[in-house]
Every structure is written in structure tokens, then in C-alpha cells.
Structure 1
Amino acid sequence: MHHRAPSPSRRTVLTVTAAAAAAAVTGVTVPVAHADEVKVADVLSRMSLEEKVGQLFVMRVYGHSATAPDQADIDANLKDIGVRTAAELIERYHVGGIIYFAWAHNTRDPHQIAALSNGIQQAGLAQPTPVPLLISVDQEHGVVARVGKPATLMPGAMALGAGGSLSDARKAGQIAGTELGAIGIRQDYAPVADVNVNPANPVIGVRSFGADPTAVAALVSAQVKGYQQARIAATAKHFPGHGDTAVDSHTGLPVINHTREQWSELDAPPFRAAIAAGIDAIMTAHIVVPALDPSGDPATLSRPILTGILREELGYDGVVVTDSLSMEGVRTKYGDERVPVLALKAGADQLLNPPDLAVAWNAVLAAVKNGELTEARLDESILRILRLKAKLGLFREPFVTDAEVDRVVGTAAHLAHADRIAGATTTLLVNEGGFLPVSRLSHPKVLVVGADPASPSGTTGPPTATIAGALTELGFTATALSTGSAPTAARIEEAVTAAAGQDLVVVGTYNVSATSTQRTLVARLVATGVPVVTIAIRNPYDVARTTGQRAALASYSWTDVELRAAVRVLAGQDRPRGRLPVPVQSADDPTRVLYPVGYGLSYA
């Protein structure tokens, strides 16, 4: 049974309270926007110090329900946070926001997510100082998505970069935002504003729109407008720019050695564009940029970067949220009790997902009591957070309904838009002798092999099975054989044997390195004489490390919507229209560009 939203009478009380507060202060009835500002001031004035500290934190919590999660999730919460449920988390720590994760069992299905969101809001409004929570998620689409089907899954950032359409990027953001709002998620940690200029980047890659700062800036601006058109707080990340790293900030502390001039020309434009577009939030990066701050502190903890550059130089006065404080990049130099305090001193507002909430919460409280942080400094951040909540309508309408979920989420119109947008993103990089489309073959039999990485939320199964299924729907006779991202000699032999009698072999490649046995797999299949087509299901750089294939495509992700689009191109149902948003260099000589930005073949 689905949980229903509280009655309209309770929702009305919030609006009346804001208006009443305004009237009490000014003696007149004021417009809603002014009433919200008065409400914000009234809420802040009634907060205890402990409530103020809590308002700064955005925390994870296990469970599909705010009050009645499964026993395993109760046990996980007790071990991780010292509370049983989301409601207890809010009661004890007064957190200002909660972030949803699939692995925390927050995102089973749209109706469950909506009920969880309502339960969280009920808990927030039951506190001594009632405050709605800002519920957030990493829903970048493509390879990073926490909310899965039946919600609409859009192409990811690099695929949109390949499509090159600002209207498509904006539409994708607007649809994604509309569906998130219907299930009670009002802040999305997207779009990625990093300019991916380093092919070895282990953490950004296809999460970026591309390598051209001007193009990335335009696409970021379009997505921001799309999300915020849907009344969802977009969040540009990761400031000051995470695109030129070879270290993953989840596991280490990257250093970017761009000069101040290089940063201004390469990394800054997308953030400037986001600010010009009215971005509601900007997320920090756990990276060191010596040219911007020679102290060696990560940007998340750097006052010269967050206050000096972001606030003062770029003129940004919206919410600044840290990247997850559980990541190793922000924990390498200081202890977990110092990190949240230093982030606030640097200029951050929201403290995201600390590894130990009790340690972080008590550290901020102690810093205020001992004078290291002033209560006035906390008030600056809390005002930004409360104003954003008011802008999003959370004081007036914090709850969602099942009817809205049914009306909005995963509609036929939204799904059709996703397929249409994805249809313009697939990039054809190699087409020897005009081999594609394979619809020219008679009664084609196809073997699909390749990598089957862990599935993001936008998938219904392994990529090999998805590709084979899409081919079957188009009239092919397709068989799937998973060989993995590091195929063994035995698995390669199995694939070679299975290729006998086939008209075509499709290989899904995944981040092929110089030593990857995926290269051996492709070479051995090419040697059978059966035509081979490769689809790079993540980074488009794979084409530089495989040879002999008759055709090579880039899909930029292995979600269903992008793999279906690639199959339609392969089969001639769609023409290839995508153009590389990043250059592909030679594997042997990185100074030699094989396929430049803007490259992409079309059918004759």
C-alpha cells in the first residue's frame, strides 16, 4: 500500500504561517515571495544553536521508509549513524537535508521514494522549529543515476555533448527535474561542469559534456535552465574544475597544475555560465590547485578558492555544498573533526555526507562554542539554505502525492523524448568500406560479446543482453555472450568458437587500456574473418586501442536508452549524428590526434 501525503489542511498551514509572520512584523499582507523571506527570518530567529548546526548537514540514511525501514537497514543505521531511522536522524541531529542512494535502499520505485520523501518532511515539520528538508540525489543520468526505471533515464553528459543540441540538453534537464520533483527530490547534484581534457581521468570522463570549455559552458547553462524550470535546484560541480585529473578524489587527493590563466580559460567558463544562468548551488571539489591556493588544501577547505574566487571574483552568492566528506580526497590532510569546520571557514554552506555525523556535528558545535566559528557565520549559510528551500516552495508545499507520481514519472511522452535525444548522440568513428548499416545484410545472425560492467540505474540488464535484445526487436537473430572487461583466455576462446557461422560480431568495449585483454578479444575475433563492429560503451577513447574492426561506434554509456540508440544506428534505423565532444589521441603517441573534437561519420 502506498503512503498518502498529509492532508491539504496541513500544507495550507505552512503558507498561512508565513503570511501571518509577515503581517505580524509589517502590519500588512505581503506577496508570497516577501512572505517567504519573512518566514525564513522567523525560522532562523527561533532556531537553537543545535538546530542551526544540524541545518548545515546533508546526510545519508538507510531504508525505504522514514519510520519503518527493513531490519537490515535499521541495523545499518545503528552501526553507521547511531539512529534507527531517518525520522530519528532528523530528531537527533536536526539535519537540513538527506541524500538518497540506491545502495542505501532509498530508491526502490517512484511511489516508495515519494512516500519516503513525505515521511522525511513530516519528521522535519515535527521538530521544535519546523523546517522542511532539502532532499538531494546524484542523478546525472548516463553512468551516474540513483533513481531507475520506471523513471525516465536520459543520455548522460558526454552523450549530450556529442549531440550538441542546447535545446535537447535543456529538455533533458527539465524532464529529469520534473520527475525528481514529483517524488520529493528537490536538489539534483547535476550538471557536471568539469571540462574533461584528460583521457586518463578516472572519475569524470563521460560525466563531463566534453573537452571544449565554450561548448561545455553552453550545455551547462542549458541544463541549469532546464532543471530550474522544473523548480529543482541544479548543482554545478565540481568547483573549481575536476576535468584534468589522473587521480580519483574518492580514493586520493588530485593535484591540478593549471596556471591561473589556464584555469580561467579552461575550467572557469562552465561555472561562470552556470552562475549567469542563475544556478542554485555549486559543489566543491576535493582537489588541490596550487595556482589558486598554494597552501596544499583541497578546494573544499580553501578560503582563497571558495570565498576569494567563487564568492568575490565570480560574484556567486548561492548555496555552496561540499562534495561528500566521506571521500578520501578531503580527509588526507586533516582529521574528520576538522574537515567540516574548515569547510565552513572556507565558505561552504552545506556539509555533505560526513563519514561520522556525530564527530562532524559535534565539531561544528564546539567550534561555535569556543569562538572559532561565530553564530553569525552559521547564520550566513543557514539563510542561503532556507532561502533556497523557500524558493523551491518547500515551506508552502513540502509534500508530494501518488497522483502526481502517476501523472509525471516515466510517461510515454518523456520516454519518447529520451529516445529522440539519444538518437542524435551515437557517434560513428570507423566505417570501413561503408560496412554499416548492417540492414544491408540478408537475414543477419549476430553474436554480441563484451564487457558487462555493474549496471547503473538506467539499465535492465547486462549491456551484451541489452544490445542483443535491441537487435532481436529489429529482426536480427542475436545471441549474447558476456566476456567481461578483462576476458580470460578461456572466455576469448569461447567467443571465437561462438563466432563461427555468424554474419557479424558486435563487441561492447569498456575503458580499454594498453594491457587490456579486450584488445586480444577484438583481435582474435577479427582474425576469424567474421566482420566485427565495436561499440565503446563508456569512454570513446577505446577506438584508439582496437584495430581491424569494420566499424566502431561510441555510445558514451551502457544505459538502455543509449545502447538502443547505438543499435538503431548500427541497423540503419537512425543515421549517426553524434560528433566527438573530446579528442581521441593515438594510444602510442598522445600528441597525435586520431579523431578531433567534432569528428563523426555519416552514412552515404
Structure 2
Amino acid sequence: MSLVIKDQRIAQIISNMSLEQKIGQLIIGQAEGQEMTPSFEDFIRKYQLGGYRIKGSNIKSKEQVRSFTEQIQSVYKSIGHEIALLGSDQEGGSLSVFGDTVTEFPGNMALGATHSVDLAFEQGQATGNELSKLGINFVFAPVADININELNPIIGVRSFGDKPWKVTDLCESFIKGLNSGGIASCLKHYPGHGNTVSDSHVEIPYNESDLLNLKSGELIPFEILSKQQVDSIMVSHIIFPKIDMEPASVSKTFINDILRTEMSYEGVIMTDDIEMTPMLKTYGIEKTARMFIEAGGDLLLINKSKTNQILAIESLLTAVEEGYISETKINEAVERILNLKMKTKQYRINRRINDKKSREISYDISKKAITLVQDPLNLLPIGRDRRILLIQPEQYNISEADTSGGKAIKLFEHLQHFNSNITLKTVDFNQGNINELEINKNDYDLIIQATINSTINSAQHEFSKWLSSLNIPLISIALRNPYDIKTYSEQNTIICTYYTNDLTMEALAKLLIGEMEFRGELPVDISYRKC
């Protein structure tokens, strides 16, 4: 699958680098501000990191991002580097750091509901096209996690689903699309973050699977795609106690023995952010950096503090000077990183522009993803004259890997085009003000209730029960995790949308009114009676 680059200049480049310069290449830091400043330029020149992450606070407009990335690359060229890795967490859906600066796609689980590898390719290619125009050459996507645990607080709709082979196919097509669109990919979160009940930003998660179970499920996408030599693979901070008592991100078993040796992976292995609080408290920057490189890893993601980036560099310098890590191992990691950089240049040169507009692709995914789980009382289509109450939640960032907080859910605006008798009530379930909501049964013929992850939000769960007790016909819509359907009454009409972006809400409105037919299928198994 992946482009193979064996640039003869790489060995010469490495031979001309000091040990300090080599170790700098092993880190991706966090870009500062929205334009080049003297202090940021001084830091780049002094430490010569492998590259930088571009996140939401770095983004104001397309023109600004393009200018900023050009400024960063200009500084790198002035100190003898051909290119810097400029990466971003632009997965699509709930983790989309570029917001409306680029096309907003409905996310991985929506793609899973379409079961379409063609749409996965198209979204990947469109994402690559748009980001490469802004100077981004590396995206931390796709997510290859098999979302097995419905209470998982960090993956959920970021996953393509719970079928390993389906997830593999969609990841493969998405990666091909990214590369065709002009950027490198990163498969994550090896060896799998889909069967945990804790968030690695908050505490170190545990997965009780043994290696046999992992190989028959969560490892399948990584095993297949690593053998195709995908551009890079991100390792998670998860402990698998039946295999190794260290987190996978610092485990020789997972990095060297399984990924490098058994799976024959030759590409770049990178960490998830090692400044996540649990890793900082338990291992610290210096120890994490040493253990990761010793285990056979290449690229450290250090996304917050320049101080911690410097600590990692100093720790690795000391480890080499004192003989704990060989300079040969450093050279091997740098070779893989420089090879990835060369690939990003070639992807940009070879990139192809999709004939379909990105917005058209996004809408096509939404139309084909939205899933009608059941309609036992035949409430659909909703009609143009019914008195309807629409109840929806305020959007919050559910985790640190979420960018949807504060965004408006525009289902009401789209439904108003078809029905002027609709009333909107938005509820902030995090503030517990549901008791203030008064509903007169005689005022409405139908209630449309939308939820966001009600399986892990007790206030929404209890509210769903109360709505069902009113004996008003009820349509329940899971706007994010489809597992919400387990909190609904069996008499409800149930729909899953997988995300809340504007194009998805536009498609949902047309589906509710009967202008289009539902085509999506649940990408995860949920024990619930279906229509």
C-alpha cells in the first residue's frame, strides 16, 4: 500500500548530523501561536525537532494557516532541513481541529454505517487535498480501534465499528485516500483502545485481554496494515497486564517483539502524547522517552511544554552518552523519520484532486450513514402539520479528544423548512436543569428527543425514561454513540446519526420528513430489538 522511499541521501544526511540534531528529530512538539515569532523561531533553530503539531489554537483561517506553515518550513530550510513534519489531529467527526476552516465530515462510525470503502477513500482524499493546501503533510488518522466496549469514554464514534475486518478495509481505503490527497497517515491507537472503560488522558487504561484474544480481534487492523507498511503507527498508553505490565507505549513486547519483529513493520512508530497526565505522573518525561526509544520506537509526541521537550532531549542525550541507548538505535529511528519526510514530499507531488467537491462527499456520507433502527408505531414520516417538540442537548467536549463542544446543532433550523409547528428546547444536562422543562401533553402530537452519549450520562438516561412515561409519541435520535439506543423505550422510533455536523442534520431533516430513504446500517452490534 504505502509508498516506499529509499533515498540514498538519507545516510549522508545522518552522517552529517550531530547527536543533538539526531535526537531533536525524534520529537514532534506543539506549534506556538498563529504566526512565526522570534521566540518560536529561536526554539526551532536551537533544538531542530522533527516537526510540530498544528492544533485549534494555531488556526484562524486558511490563509493564516498556510502562511504559518510556510514560515515554519522556511525556518527549517534555512538551517539545512528539507522539510518538517507538520501534523494534525484531523480525524473527521468529533475530533476535527480545523473546524469550519475545512470541510467537516461526519466521522468514522458514520463511514462504518455506510459500509463503503469508496466513500472512505473519497473522504481520505478530500481531507488530504484540503490539508495539504494548508501546508499540513501528516495527519494522525485513521483510528483503527475496534470499539468493543460500549462504555468506552474516549473512542466511540471515532472508531469505524466493532468488526475487525470491516475496520481494516475502511482504514486501508482511508489511508490510500489520504496519500492520494497529498499527506501521510498514522494508524492509531496500537494495539487497540476500543476495549477500555477509561480515558488515557485521565488515567492509564487497562485491557485484560490476552495475546490470543488480541490477535483474533483488536490487533487485526494493525497486523494487516503494518505488513503493508503504512506510513506510521501510533502506540497507546494502555496496560495489558496479561502480556506486559508496562504501557504499550514503552513496552518492548508490543513495540519490538510484536510490531517490529512478528508484524515486520519497518515504518515510523510514534507515541500518543506523552504529556497526558497519567503518563507524566507515573513515568515522567525523561523515563518515558528513554523507555520508548529503547523499546524500538521512533517519534515522541510532546504536545504541551517546551520544557518537557527539552527534558526529553537531554534525557536521551544522557542515555546515549552513558551507553543505555546506542547511537546506532538513534540512527535507525532518524532514518525512518527522514524516510517518512521524503514520503510526504512525494505524496504532495503526486497528489490527485477528487472531481467531487468535499462538501458533496460529506453530504453523501451523511445520507448513506443515518440509520433507522426501528419504527414500531409508524411515526415516520413526521408530516408537515404535526405539532412537534424537539428536545436536544447542549454540546460539550466529552473528552480531550473532542472538538464538538459549543457547536450548534442545527436540526431545528432544517426541520423548520418543512414544518412551522416545531418548538425547540435545548437542555444543558451537565447543569442538571432538566426539572425546569415543562411539557404539556396537549400541546404536542410528537416529541423528537436527541441524545449525546446518554449511556454514560445518567441525567440524559433518566430524562429519556421520563419522556417515555408521558405517553406522547416519541422519536429518539442518538446523535453520537449508537449505544444510546439502549437507554430508549422499546416503543420509540429510533435513529442513529453518529455526528451532529450541519450536513448530517440537513440529511436527517429530509429523512424525517420522508424526502429520502434511510440507508445506513448499525456498524456495531447492540442487543436491541430491531424493526
TM-score normalised over the length of structure 2: 0.91
More off after superposition, 569-578 vs 155-164: 569-578
Change (3 A) 1:412 1:148: farther
Q: How does 1:45-194 map to 2 (within 5 A)?
A: 45-67=15-37, 84-85=39-40, 87-102=41-56, 105-127=57-79, 129-194=80-145
Deviations 1:137-163 (A, max 9, x none): 111111111011141111211111111
Among candidates 520, 524, 530, match of residue 578 of structure 1: 520
State the AA in 2 paired with 1:116: F
Kept in 2: contact 1:170–1:225 (CA 8 A): yes
C-alpha displacement of 1:50: 1.4
Distance 2:207 2:191 in 1: 10
Q: How does 1:580-595 map to 2 (within 5 A)?
A: 580-584=522-526, 593-594=527-528
State the AA in 2 paired with 1:43: I
Change (3 A) 1:442 1:571: closer
Three-state SS of the structure 2 residue aligned to 1:234 is: coil
Distance 2:431 2:487 in 1: 16
Kept in 2: contact 1:175–1:414 (CA 8 A): yes
Deviations 1:331-365 (A, max 9, x none): 35422211111110111111001652121121112
Three-state SS of the structure 2 residue aligned to 1:432 is: coil
* Structure with larger Rg: 1
Among candidates 395, 411, 428, match of residue 484 of structure 1: 428
Kept in 2: contact 1:233–1:280 (CA 8 A): yes
Kept in 1: contact 2:152–2:194 (CA 8 A): yes
Which residue of 1 is the match for residue 371 of structure 2?
A: 427
Which residue of 2 is the match for residue 43 of structure 1?
A: 13
State the AA in 2 paired with 1:470: H
Runs of 5+ unmatched residues, structure 1: 1-32, 69-83, 398-403, 585-592
C-alpha displacement of 1:389: 0.9
Kept in 1: contact 2:229–2:265 (CA 8 A): no
C-alpha displacement of 1:529: 4.5
State the AA in 2 paired with 1:383: E
Distance 2:274 2:298 in 1: 13
Distance 1:383 1:118 in 2: 24
Change (3 A) 1:385 1:95: same
Is 1:300 the counterpart of 2:252? The answer is no
Three-state SS of the structure 2 residue aligned to 1:556 is: coil
Distance 1:454 1:268 in 2: 31
C-alpha displacement of 1:271: 0.9
Kept in 1: contact 2:110–2:497 (CA 8 A): yes
Aligned residue pairs total 522
Among candidates 457, 466, 471, match of residue 415 of structure 2: 471
Which residue of 2 is the match for residue 357 of structure 1?
A: 309
Which residue of 2 is the match for residue 561 of structure 1?
A: 503
C-alpha displacement of 1:204: 1.0
Deviations 1:108-150 (A, max 9, x none): 22211111110110111122x3241100011111111101114
C-alpha displacement of 1:524: 3.7
Kept in 2: contact 1:96–1:133 (CA 8 A): yes
Kept in 2: contact 1:220–1:273 (CA 8 A): no
State the AA in 2 paired with 1:575: E
TM-score normalised over the length of structure 1: 0.81
C-alpha displacement of 1:272: 2.2
Runs of 5+ unmatched residues, structure 2: none
Which residue of 2 is the match for residue 400 of structure 1?
A: none
Kept in 2: contact 1:298–1:329 (CA 8 A): no
C-alpha displacement of 1:408: 7.6
Change (3 A) 1:460 1:513: closer
Is 1:383 the counterpart of 2:335? The answer is yes
Kept in 1: contact 2:184–2:347 (CA 8 A): no
C-alpha displacement of 1:292: 3.2
Which residue of 2 is the match for residue 392 of structure 1?
A: 344
Kept in 2: contact 1:537–1:558 (CA 8 A): yes
Distance 2:115 2:347 in 1: 38
C-alpha displacement of 1:197: 0.7
Change (3 A) 1:370 1:282: same
C-alpha displacement of 1:459: 8.6
Change (3 A) 1:543 1:428: same
C-alpha displacement of 1:301: 0.4
Is 1:233 the counterpart of 2:203? The answer is no
State the AA in 1 paired with 2:528: L
Among candidates 494, 499, 512, match of residue 437 of structure 2: 494
Which residue of 1 is the match for residue 157 of structure 2?
A: 206
Change (3 A) 1:521 1:500: farther
State the AA in 2 paired with 1:461: K
Three-state SS of the structure 2 residue aligned to 1:111 is: helix
Deviations 1:17-74 (A, max 9, x none): xxxxxxxxxxxxxxxx98x713323322221211111111101133111237xxxxxx
Three-state SS of the structure 2 residue aligned to 1:449 is: strand
Kept in 1: contact 2:478–2:495 (CA 8 A): yes
State the AA in 2 paired with 1:62: E
Three-state SS of the structure 2 residue aligned to 1:392 is: helix
Which residue of 2 is the match for residue 588 of structure 1?
A: none
Kept in 2: contact 1:289–1:298 (CA 8 A): yes
C-alpha displacement of 1:528: 4.3
C-alpha displacement of 1:169: 1.0
More off after superposition, 557-566 vs 206-215: 557-566
Three-state SS of the structure 2 residue aligned to 1:434 is: coil
More off after superposition, 316-325 vs 519-528: 519-528
State the AA in 2 paired with 1:189: F
Three-state SS of the structure 2 residue aligned to 1:326 is: coil
